[in-house]
Amino acid sequence: MSAALLEVVRGYLDRHGEPGGLAQTPIPGLTIIRTSEPSGLDYAITRPLACLVLQGSKRVMMGTRSFNFSAGDSLLITADVPTVSQIIQASHEVPYISLVIDLDPALLTELMEEMKAVPSAELEPIRIEPTDSEVAEAALRLMRLLERPASATVLHASLVRELHYWLLAGRHGPAISRLGWPDGHAQRIARAVKVLRTEFTRPLPVEHLASVAGMSPSSFHHHFRNQTSLTPLQFQKQLRLIEARRLMTGEGATASSAAFAVGYESVSQFSREYRRLFGLPPARDASVAC
């Protein structure tokens, strides 16, 4: 089944994709990644997702932990966590190819209610397992649907739902079940994370974020760190620094203009924190962009 899925994905990329990087599909939440050479380090605060690797190998690091996965594996990320990723096996002849599906907590909640599933105490936000055959089969039918746009408009939602079902019913089920727990800690923290992602350039007191999550400040701080591995302030700083790096490397912004654009008032503070996260001064990234 994985071989058939790889063939269909390759065909789609040949007809619609760019030579490398991300290929957004018309189906919301479904993305294809293709890279023809090993990559540098990519810093991100990753959203909950399932990544089905079809070819090549990749490494994802979270804190001091490192996870390697390759063709036939699925990577599952069940919380908004800081990651450093790197494609470690890819070539022009055999590029790295993966299919990424954003996880929909509302859909998981609906499925768990119908399945009468009990949320797991699973707390590990990253895990890797062999791809279940049912998941690969649902992904294959979803990819084939892309070549029939009129049908995709009507049918894609049911296939995305089925894909979530098989993820929940399979070996990844315990890990993602907490995402579907109505008003559980994961969904409450997700409400605060949404505010942080959209408003990270302005000051966001913990008390305000705790109110959004419906928790006391102390409880919010505890559960936020348990889920994301960061404090709310550290989370906001990483969002700012990652966006600043994108502005410099992708849009040619200077270090100072990027710092002010993401909410810093002090360029020297920005430079210190940038070097601490990325291991090099922001001026180096800004000069590379030029």
In this prediction, residues 28-52 reach a mean pLDDT of 93
Antiparallel, parallel or unpaired: β 21-24 and 81-89: unpaired
The domain defined by 183-228 folds into: Arc Repressor Mutant, subunit A (1.10.10)
Q: Which CATH class is domain 232-287?
A: mainly alpha
DSSP codes of every residue in 149-205: HHHHHHHHHHHHHHHHHHHHHSTTHHHHGGGGSTTSHHHHHHHHHHHHHHHTTS---
- Whether the pLDDT of residue 290 is over 50: the answer is no
- Would the CATH topology of 1-178 be identical to that of 232-287? no
Task: Give the start-to-end residue ranges of the domains of the chain.
Answer: 1-178, 183-228, 232-287
- What pTM does this model have? 0.88
Q: What is the pLDDT of residues 164-180, one digit of tens each?
A: 999 999 988 888 888 88
Q: What is the pLDDT of residues 101-136, one digit of tens each?
A: 999 999 999 999 898 877 776 667 888 999 999 999
Single out the residue of 167, 150, 149 nearest to residue 107, CA to CA: 167
Q: Write the CATH number of the domain with boundaries 1-178.
A: 2.60.120.10
- Whether the pLDDT of residue 288 is over 70: the answer is no
